[in-house]
Structure 1
């Protein structure tokens, strides 16, 4: 059986842009809105809607040192959370192009 850490890493490795989110989180909504406004393609995992969400969140903390959501990756690099993504607004088009997301 695949561990939560292996599963999270596989998702990160196989997708240009990944947002680990919770459906009710306002910061997650803000990040998704920004990416949607840019018409970015991204892999979305709502941790509160999957059976292993808690385990994945623990695994993400191991991988990144960040426990909070959203937990965002672009081109397999950990970007951080919503404030980190918003702070990169000016570079986002370039980052998303490099990731093949737009």
Structure 2
């Protein structure tokens, strides 16, 4: 849990992902199209990945788990819902265009 929260607080837009997850890929592409470069942490490439995944599950989410400004936004459904309502861009404005 500590590593998850530390990484989320250190990075403006943070996605905990798995390299083989198509939903993770879709969320990452969405952020790129919005012109936001998230920090993507592939938990399946991290020796502590299983513990990180358990921590995310305790928070109520699996990958992709998206944090913006240190706050857990949610997974694919929450991110896409925010995007369809037009609210995602507002949350991401401070991070837009930073490549």
TM-score by length of 1: 0.84
Q: CA deviation at 1:46?
A: 0.6
Aligned residue pairs total 94
**Distance in 2 separating the partners of 1:24 and 1:45:** 13
CA RMSD across the alignment: 1.2
Quick one: which of 12, 15, 20 aligns to 1:16?
Answer: 12
Structure 1 runs, 4 residues or longer, greater than 2 Å off:
none
Matched, 1:83 2:77: yes
**Distance in 2 separating the partners of 1:36 and 1:80:** 18
Partner of 1:70: 64
Q: CA deviation at 1:38?
A: 0.9
Q: CA deviation at 1:35?
A: 0.3
Q: CA deviation at 1:40?
A: 0.3
Q: Is the 8 A contact 2:24 2:64 kept in 1?
A: yes
1:88 match: secondary structure: helix
